[in-house]
Amino acid sequence: MGVHLTLLGTGTSQGVPVIACDCKVCTSHDPRDKRLRSSAMFEVDGVHAPKGDRTFVVDTGPDFRQQMLRARVQQLDAVLFTHEHKDHVAGLDDVRAFNFRQKRDMDLYAAPRVQEALRREFHYVFAENPYPGVPRVRLHGLDSQPLTVGGVDILPLPVKHYKLPVFGFRIGPIAYITDANAFAPETWERLQGVEILVLNALRKEKHISHFNLEEALEVADRVAPKETYLTHLSHLMGRHRHVLPDLPSGVYLGEDGLRISAG
């Protein structure tokens, strides 16, 4: 089974460039310094189930439509939600394009608290008599227990975003974790043997709810994957070409559109 992860967006909640900011990062002409809000897409080949390959997106942030168009996504089997913050859910309405194409409801996997937020923020989707053409979705529960979606085994990775519980996800040899500054004990265990780790690193200075660069590097050193890619990067991290040379071997800054494969 081959597993691929595309970094659909590697920016923080404001994205990069930040509106009205004239810093050297936000005014950079380097495409690597252009970052949509954080999201990722797992593609799994060779699944022993009907229709074979599977595609899952982690979070539908404000840039979801643009990300789907840029990656030329033709099939989406399910959405996995990390948490309910607006930069991770605001683009949910655009799953209706897949409803039309695939002629079925979209499966959404979210913790009960996140489901409540989706029902509140997208109330028209869940109305008793919904307006014609609204997204059609099917909510599924999500907790720390392993789950199987479309024949693919998925390991939830419980983390904390300050005091807010958040989930990362591992499929096969690839793990994706965003919006975290602490791991549950079981998450350290579930990261054993991972080959590719994608992890948030907001900036160089400490932050109340995100790993900073130093903390993310400590996590990468402890997990010891073959490769680590940093995501959820703010403009305060600095320009890509200036930060990259100072990173340890095997650690890279994530880039929008980067596709990573393992297995």
The ranges assigned to domains in the chain are 2-253
DSSP-based three-state secondary structure for 13: coil
Tell me whether strands 227-231 and 251-253 are parallel, antiparallel or unpaired.
Answer: parallel
Tokens (6 digits) for 35: 């970052």
Between 160 and 129, residue with greater pLDDT: 160
CATH code 3.60.15.10 for 2-253: yes
User: Cα 218 to chain center, whole Å?
Assistant: 21
Indicate whether 211 pLDDT > 70. Answer: yes
**Residue 212's pLDDT band (cuts 50, 70, 90):** very high
Across the range 214-241, mean pLDDT stands at: 98
pLDDT at position 142, please? 98
pLDDT at position 74, please? 96
Residue carrying the six token digits 């790993």: 211
176 strand-pairing partners = 169, 198
- Can you give the pTM of this predicted structure? 0.96
Question: For residues 55 and 43, what is the distance between their CA atoms, to the nearest angstrom?
Answer: 5
Across the range 206-216, mean pLDDT stands at: 97
